[in-house]
Structure 1
């Protein structure tokens, strides 16, 4: 069965006779198909329409020598492998070629067959190296895609703790952008009371001791605590630590309930406890019957109302939200506007927060445990 050529080569030389011989010798290797050009200008025109795996160019040519041609190829076509051949034995030519970005340098000799055997070896070497680099880049791209879209919180750090990369789950959970994390270290996101243990683990890590099931506490940008458990490993070059990897998942934390509001309300709508939900801005989105009764409002008119308007002091809700951002729960009393003719009253409240899919506070729930529908609000009325 005929072997399909795998390397397309462009040979550039001002002498047609040299090109004919080059093509003859190169295509004896069934893995090579050779094209030719008698000048750099002709070669560049061909490269505009045909992708080549390797360019082989003579050094001494009129109008544009091999080094100038190489630089033009680099500026227009990137890192395509480039080999320079010359009959000159001057060392400075080889140095100039390699310093200009040539992938190989070959001196023409009297042994034509030997020269082309060496050229074929060099062609396969530089083309194979480029193939390997492209395969590695593609593999790294696929790996980075997997990391970026993983549900676990993943990061890679240098030996000083500065971030090399953080994935989307890490950024969305902790609230930092790629740009922000680039100027941070992993120690910046560890809770103060967990930092000593993390530093001890990190020191052990740099000595090659990985950690499975390690527990710590991350701090979000807005100060919330996220307890996590995960695995830590260190990539070593011999005995030298190079980088660390962390893969964590949250042990506990705000539960996403935005999609379950209807289900929850169906279960609690007949309970004798007033319950309402607000969005992250404090706008009431859902209420049960008892909440409507407590505030003497119909469902259609209470929904869409800023919950702050139910407080005698609207800033009370902002203070409650501030506490919720740190602990997730708040319980206490507040002076509320119940539309009672006797004025506002002090009501007991129990509040909680749940996060949305972006890791930020998304739904607030408010329960009034002291309310009795038969006796009215269990509170002290104020003059």
Structure 2
């Protein structure tokens, strides 16, 4: 193991405590704190954590098994080794039944005795860390969906049983819809869960002993081989890899791979263990979504290309009436540039202040699904001049929700000038002829125009 192992050594015999501390800290890779009683040890445990606990059995006030029970109740599955001179079978059985990882009897030569103790500690810590790493890898996948969250709850509820028995672990992983697997350092499948039958069409017996690379479709095979070898060298996990694997019927199944490296007691990589999830359906949905998005962008490009050819102003806004698109005619008439548009221009800033409330009301009606009639406004150009327009607009809906507005704006300056000229002419005729008869005015107007 690459890190020093922190140990709490509990024994009421001071000379044995000091001897054990000296031996374990000398060239063994351990950092040892000591306590003279179970009560003193519990006080120390309240302030820091340890990788393992070594405890004597026969101690005043509280023996080693009573201490073990309190440790399990308060601190869970921290590795616990009972190191005692009491070798009765009943004590051994009680210790194991209460979660003791190893039982080691004192006596004989000190050096081999403490060497054996150090070996047991490493073994217990390595097993505990491997179990924690495996649970962490499974947790990354399990949190992503409700079904796997329920399985994670099941794993947590059965964690004690998982530590005590490989059968309990097998029961859990075999119920997973995802494939649980282990590879050795050469990439050979050492273990694969029963989910491989449903996902890949192979039985665990068919896949065990098979190099994983033979299941990976080209051209992803060599890239995965490189990632695998790199992970072996660097002891890093293979995370979020999407691999196309070959189903027994020949079709391709895209698997999302997450894993952690397997390390031996000396920290050397021995392969990987992890989880594989079938994301073929999700990948097809993503490809379909990308295809639809591309078609939508192409449609928008065609729409905007045609809009730029129109002599009228074409626009789009969001629900806050901020302009999100304007065609070339709109920019030209208003004296604006694309850079101005990119900075965000509120429509209301272009409307005569006396008419802004009418536009807000039209927007509220559009958001409520009320189809309005064309409305006249006066727009303000960038240079401050104003001109009359007729605005046709309609809501933009996505998934049944209004997300903005689009429409056409027609410059009616010419029409307004004509109306004003006609109005002036009519008043002139009324003043000249002294009549308000429509027929008479029409006759005079026809005579004047001829």
Instruction: State the TM-score, normalized to the length of structure 2.
Output: 0.43
**Quick check: which one's helix share is greater?**
2
**Quick check: which one's strand share is greater?**
1
Greater RCO, 1 or 2 (C-alpha within 8 Å, sep 6+): 1
**Greater C-alpha radius of gyration:** 2
